[in-house]
Chains A and B, each alone.
Chain A
Amino acid sequence: MPLLEVSKLSISFIQYAKGSLQQKITIVEELDLAINEGEIVAVVGASGSGKSLLAHAIMGILPKNVSMTGSISYGGELLDEAKLKLYRGKEIALVPQSVSYLDPLMRVGEQLRTQADGAEQLKEREGLFARFQLGKHVERLFPFQLSGGMARKVLVSTAALQRSRLIIADEPTPGMHPADVAEALDSFKQLAEGGCAVLFITHDIEAAIRIADKVAVFYAGTAVELAPASDFQGNGERLRHPYSRALWRALPQNGFEPIAGTQPARRSDLQGCLFAERCRSAEEQCGNSRPEPREMRGGIVRCVNAT
């Protein structure tokens, strides 16, 4: 049984379009994802494809103007408000994406300590600080005095704790120096080896395939492919979905060739495959209905043409 199981998750925003006229925008649609204990699942994909919303939905910190359907279960139980209160910040930890999640008026050291902390956690954090070469003086700094990379390290230090059973790391590494990225990835890897499940949201595909067991590729709010990390190699020929291949080939080290177009703006009037208008192998049927997920070569894909 997976430790975390997300099924048929849809997330919509209610937005005021004009005056009192409301508009519903679906950002995440029919998303399925599961993580076992000791497993690292990376989520890569388009910016604005709902990766962070998934993290926020799991943590129960979605904004108020949001409606959510589908279910999220943790250890076999439905993860509701009451369960979240129990686990959040203890068994389930979030490494937030933006530096603005730090309190601007509080010194870094104070922000790292929570009421749930004991001497053991404190020691662990000091160890992490040392590994990240943050230095004791960083604890005395305010967030505005941190560089982008330093702030990331502080954010990772808030969550990489032995007591965590599930870590949701939302873009923990951008702007970090390669050596520090390696350090952060190592600390996640170690936690996973100790049985912790890690949801690693990133667009650093290189980092994803270095530590993850599986990689979920997101596009326009849904997982178009779930692939073993080892399938990301060569020219991407082992990948199943055309978007995954395009993403892989757009990396600076793999050709740097972008496909044209942008992710569709999310409204309810889109009928067919969300990638169809940018897909070279799109056929007529692709415009009619959303492809259902199907299993293929040890992965899952949402594409009728996938091979």
Chain B
Amino acid sequence: MRLEGRNLGWRYPGGPLLFNGFSITLQPGETVGLIGPSGSGKTSLGRILAGYMKPIVGEVSALGRNKRESNYDPVQMIFQHPEHAVNPRWRMARTITEGWIPDAALLAALGIHEEWLQRYPNELSGGELQRCCIARALGPETKFLIADEMTTMLDAITQAQIWHTVQGIVRARQIGLLVISHDHALINKICNRTLKLNE
């Protein structure tokens, strides 16, 4: 039961290959860091693993992923820019419950205030919005989590709080975690091992 990408390659139409022959295996319960220069394809790799796009070369297998990809996907991704990952015309209550219904304990652990739920995304700060996106992605069927610069826009205390919460859940539920970040101090602190893309 693992998430595996074999010999992956990706490029934007007409552009050069950002990466090629890249293989990655994520075991349940392990935390792996992914670093690399900006534009090297870290986010694209995350999107490929999460099933948002098909690789140009290679293949991805994730146990529990439905062939038609019509159900809740076992690989969930949290994006760098939460404002682009939510529907601007939905109140947060609808966004948070899009895939499952998080309980009050999880919302509290992530520091989500109840009054945020009645607001629209543009009435929350980036950090507040990101906590909501994390709650949305932590459904019971989540087996792997791809955190793409998840706390990059947050202050250090909030960052440490969120990572402590996420690490607790990930450990308890044996979720495999891929941490994409430029913050080497953060990667060194939380990851079991680190992969480099194009470095």
Contacts and interface: CB of A to CB of B under 8 A. Distances in A.
Interface of A: 15, 44-49, 52, 97-100, 145-150, 152-153, 171, 174-181, 203, 205, 246-248, 250-253, 256-260, 262, 265
A256 B182 CA distance: 17
B189 A175 contact: no
Contacts of B125: 47-48, 52
23 contacts: A47-B126, A47-B128, A47-B158, A48-B124, A97-B126, A145-B12, A147-B41, A147-B42, A149-B37, A153-B38, A174-B152, A174-B153, A176-B38, A203-B156, A250-B157, A250-B159, A252-B185, A252-B190, A253-B189, A256-B160, A257-B160, A259-B157, A262-B158
Given A175-B182, A252-B183, A253-B185, A147 B39 contact: yes
A100 B84 contact: yes
Contact of B80 (A52, A148, A203, A256): A148
Contacts of A247: 155-157
B186 A252 contact: yes
Given A174-B149, A258-B164, A180 B38 contact: yes
B157 A46 contact: yes
Contacts of B111: 262
Interface residues of B, number: 42
Contacts of B83: 98, 100
A75 to B, nearest CB: 31
A15 B182 contact: no
B59 to A, nearest CB: 23
B63 to A, nearest CB: 29
B182 A178 contact: yes
Contacts of B80: 148, 175
B43 interface: yes
Given A98-B83, A149-B39, A48 B156 contact: no
Contact of A205 (B84, B156, B182, B184): B156
B38 A246 contact: no
A265 B37 CA distance: 37
Given A47-B128, A252-B186, A175 B38 contact: yes
Nearest to A258: B160
Contacts of B185: 251-253
A149 B183 contact: no
B188 interface: yes
Interface string B97-128: 00000000000000101010000000111111
A262 B156 CA distance: 12
Interface in B148-169: 149, 152-161, 163-164
